[in-house]
Amino acid sequence: MREARRDAASPPEEVPSSALRDARRAMLGVRSFSVLAALTLGLVTLGALVRAHGAGLACPDWPRCFGVWLPEMDLRVGFEWTHRLVAGSISLLFALAAALVLRDARLRAAARRPIALAFALLALQIVLGGLTVLLGLAPWTVTAHLVTGTSFAATLCWIALALRDAAAPRPRPALPTGARRAVWVAAALVLAQITLGGLVSSNYAGLDCPEWPTCRDGVWFPSLEGGVGLHLVHRTNAYLMVLAIGVALWLNRRHPGVARPLRLATALVLLQVLLGIANVRLGLRIEVTGLHTLFAALLALCFAAALREVRLRPVGGDGTRQRVVIVGAGFGGLGVARALADTPVDVLVVDRENYHAFLPLLYQVATSGLSAQDVTHPVRSILRRLPNARFRMAEVAHLDLGERTIETAGGARIPYDVLVIAAGSTTEFFGNESVERFTFALHHVDEAIALRNHVLECLERASETEDANEREALLGFVLVGGGPTGVELSGMLGELRKHVVPRDFPGLAAAMRVVLLEGRDRLLAAFPESLCRRALEQVRELGVEVRFGAIVESVDPGGVQLASGDRIPARTVVWAAGVRGAKIGASLGVPLGRAARVPVATTLQVDGHPEVYAIGDLALVRGMESLPQVAQVAIQQGRRVAANVQRALCGAEPLPFRYWDPGMMATIGRDRAVAMLFGVKLAGRIAWFFWLVAHIVFLAGFRNRASVFVNWIYHYLTYDLGLRAIVGRTRKPPQGDAQRGEAERSSSKPEPDQRSSDAA
């Protein structure tokens, strides 16, 4: 999660359209039936515990005996009464939710059939429950009760999926006949497995096999001379089921909508088999039966989702497919591609680099905490699992909206039906030529590498020079901008001065100076005031000098000149005071908004061109101009664009974008951070821990996550930044000392046209 700045003011509330009202009503139904499905899973688990404990083990006279589970004046509620209470609550809540859905004509058309099936299963469940009590836990009633309960949970899942389709309609790509049949066969084996499991457990639990689970002879598992018993059939069917699910997953691997629930089903069935083997071999506690049954019910829900997808997909080919071109492989662009993975469109991602950069961690590359490879991941590797997505490495030079084509710098023309511009942003220098020429930006991997090399070279030269003024300038590090980037970079430089410089460059730590300049009266202005004060305290604890109300007038090779007349000697000046939209926005031919950003409607469409969307740092959403330019906004906008593309293919009108703010965070250094997560203010070590977890989760690729985690553990244990090799620079001939300052800046900084990042 990119540490965010909260909106200074909430966007004005708009009158919702009929489509928006319908979508919100449908999503309320989705949440309601999802909760009911979860409660039903708990009910199925409770039923397994009641069956296991009640059938002759803990309460031999079950269901008339309640001495153990509900003693007099004891507040402890037993399994049986809890089971009854939950069952009654589910019945009432289901009736209420179904009535609300059936009142709406649109939702009724989408979900009336699964609701009718659920009512039938609920009625059958109640009848079977009564028969189970009256017949003294008859094996067939127990098994039927388990199967209908699991089927009821699967039907609730089916209702939720039907309502989700009503809220977000999407076309489904065609499915081959073999892939379809494989899912049906696997589903049949799953149903047989649940039925056999109910028969095995009910017959073992105190009825025909009093020594369960150690009994292996008798009626249900006879010797080789007799027939094959239930246990052997159950175990054999389990192996067949594993094979069938594997085949179904393989045949549907290029159809994400079917493959996703099948992947989860594969994991569940493997856990189920391992648990069953352990239960038999080790004689585990009887409560394991509940966990075993819960996995089986979850497996049924997975197949309910897969079967519904299979049933709704056409057989054969998709015919002519629209082409969606995405400019930029950042958070927003990849979010669109992922969300369109199971849509009958062809997706092409175009980016000038062949990697996705995790921009929130660039400052760690610049301070030797991480390598450039740790925060980058090949785009082709990310798109590998998306069957309809392709990548093209090219720089977009021009957009022709009339002809619906984009032109690359190499002269190639790429046609599109839908265009998504997620080209990101670049550094804003506010027209100050000296700032642009003599400062380092931190908006691209090349810039981070150049800054790291420059910082290390300054330390090396400071250790050699005898000139006090030269040493003062070489050890002066000025950061302009008190936002997350400036605060994080200053914190890392403070740790470098505190832990690394004294060991590698004895005698330089005392002379090293880190100055953070902020034009306003506090750091991290988007955070609550209490967290701003805490951040200031933590920054100063690392020896960073913070100046408020400091306006930079000019920068030269020797330092920074402030508007107040003060001058700060420094060879290293990092500009983190603002960003502007990427220059490709000017190619759209529309008047640009603040910071060269493209004005778009709330549906994220460019005015006059409904087939063109702009998202991420480049987009200026009407009515939400103060949205933070962070990864979470770009990701959520990418999902909304994908949903609107799908709605357009179904003939539905687009829905407006609404930002859900999960919070914001900024780290200052080791055990130092501030965070505002879901309205909760955090500071210090706990905020730092949440920052670590969030950034590892959002990194692309397992290798990157593992490498970053190992580097952070190494840094935490050793107080060392281990990636301090000066690499990637171009060798220059020797120059005079008077020329070195300016030459270093011009040779180590990337060219101006390289600063624009296509990552959102």
How confident is the model over 536-572, as pLDDT tens digits? 999 999 999 999 999 999 999 999 999 988 999 999 9
Strand runs (DSSP E) across 305-412, as ranges? 322-327, 345-351, 355-357, 376-378, 389-393, 396-400, 405-408
Question: Per-residue confidence at 588, pLDDT binned at 50, 70, 90?
Answer: confident
Quote the pLDDT of residue 3. Answer: 41
Own/partner pairs, 530-536, CB within 8 angstroms, 24+ separation: 530/681, 531/674, 531/675, 531/676, 531/681, 531/683, 534/674, 534/683, 534/684, 535/487, 535/666, 535/668, 535/674, 535/683
Quote the pLDDT of residue 760. Answer: 37
**358: nearest Cα among 704, 663, 614:** 704
Quote the pLDDT of residue 280. Answer: 62
Range 397-412 average pLDDT: 91
Range 182-207 average pLDDT: 78
- In this predicted structure, the answer to whether residue 273 has a pLDDT above a threshold of 90 is no
Question: Per-residue confidence at 300, pLDDT binned at 50, 70, 90?
Answer: very high
The answer to whether 757 and 330 are in contact (CB under 8 A) is yes
- In this predicted structure, the answer to whether residue 205 has a pLDDT above a threshold of 70 is no
- Alpha-carbon torsion, ordered 277, 278, 279, 285, to 10 deg: -170
Question: Per-residue confidence at 640, pLDDT binned at 50, 70, 90?
Answer: very high
Distance of CA 268 to the CA centre of its chain: 22
- In this predicted structure, the answer to whether residue 750 has a pLDDT above a threshold of 60 is no
The pTM for the full model equals 0.84
Range 483-491 average pLDDT: 92
Quote the pLDDT of residue 54. Answer: 52
- In this predicted structure, the answer to whether residue 164 has a pLDDT above a threshold of 70 is yes
Distances (CA, A) of 576 to 428, 483, 484: 9, 8, 9
- Residue identified by tokens 């090349």 is 446
DSSP string, 585-607: GGGG-S---GGGPEEE-TTSEET
- In this predicted structure, the answer to whether residue 59 has a pLDDT above a threshold of 90 is no
The answer to whether 491 and 479 are in contact (CB under 8 A) is no
**303: nearest Cα among 234, 245, 251:** 245
CA distance 493 to 458: 13
Give the active site residue among 436, 457, 488, 518: 488
Domain map (residue ranges) of the chain: 24-170, 173-312, 433-577+664-754
pLDDT digits (tens, 9 = 90+) for 14-39: 445 778 888 889 999 999 999 999 99
- In this predicted structure, the answer to whether residue 745 has a pLDDT above a threshold of 80 is no
For residue 740, how many other CB atoms are within 10 A of its CB? 18
**753: nearest Cα among 392, 371, 427:** 427
Report domain 433-577+664-754's class. Answer: alpha beta
Considering only residues 203 and 197, tell me which one the structure prediction assigns the higher pLDDT.
197
Active site residue 488: yes
Range 306-332 average pLDDT: 90
Please, where are the H alpha helices in 55-138?
A: 79-103, 105-134
- In this predicted structure, the answer to whether residue 57 has a pLDDT above a threshold of 50 is no
- In this predicted structure, the answer to whether residue 462 has a pLDDT above a threshold of 70 is yes
CA distance 20 to 28: 12
CA distance 615 to 425: 11
Question: Per-residue confidence at 754, pLDDT binned at 50, 70, 90?
Answer: very low
The answer to whether 447 and 745 are in contact (CB under 8 A) is no
Tokens of 643: 């949903």
* Reduced DSSP (H G I as helix, E B as strand, rest coil) percent helix, strand, coil of the chain, to 5: 50, 15, 35
CA distance 685 to 698: 20
